[in-house]
């Protein structure tokens, strides 16, 4: 299993520079994990695109519908964010060694505690993951 962060998930639903790489990855992996945190961030990113007038509200609604269908069909394995993840994220941030942000720390904690590789397109997150010894795949 791999854990997709929001940057990778988004590129599966709308055209971005890394869309082809993300689609190829999805075809080669047997199990794709996401958390409810990723789900919320995904819709938030889509909402931002609507506000910026990069996409219409109707198109955004269609993307959310496709995403919901994928969730219900079991295309993704949902991974719960639990207290242990918040504790680990807090501990990592309190080291003051990385520029790790709150939600990124939670993504890393979910991946780390479940012994799965986090896939991201975020270079800063990837650098923090390496510094903390979390297995990561950076799409670039």
Residues 114-127 have pLDDT tens digits of: 999 999 999 999 99
> Kind of pairing, strands 117-120 and 76-79?
unpaired
**Domain around 112:** 2-138
For 76-106, the pLDDT digits (tens) are 999 999 999 999 999 999 999 999 999 999 9
* CATH label of the domain that carries residue 39: 3.40.50.1010
Is the pLDDT reported for residue 30 higher than 90? no
- Residue 140, pLDDT > 90, answer no
Q: What whole-number distance in Å separates Cα of residue 4 and Cα of residue 48? A: 20
Query: Which sign does the torsion angle of CA 129, 130, 136, 137 carry?
Result: positive
Domain count, the chain: 1
pTM score, whole prediction: 0.91
* Mean pLDDT value across the chain: 95
């Amino acid at each position: 299993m791999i854990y997709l962060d929001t940057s990778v998930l988004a590129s599966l639903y709308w055209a971005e520079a890394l869309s082809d790489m993300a689609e190829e990855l999805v075809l080669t992996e047997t199990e794709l994990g996401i958390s409810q945190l990723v789900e919320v961030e995904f819709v938030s990113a889509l909402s931002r695109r609507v506000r910026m007038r990069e996409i219409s509200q109707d198109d955004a609604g269609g993307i959310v519908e496709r995403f919901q269908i994928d969730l219900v069909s079991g295309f993704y394995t949902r991974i719960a964010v639990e207290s242990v993840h918040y504790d680990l994220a807090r501990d990592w941030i309190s080291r003051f060694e990385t520029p790790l942000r709150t939600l990124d720390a939670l993504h890393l904690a979910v991946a780390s505690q479940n012994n799965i590789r986090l896939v991201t397109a975020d270079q800063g997150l990837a650098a923090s993951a390496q510094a903390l010894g979390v297995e990561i795949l950076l799409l670039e």
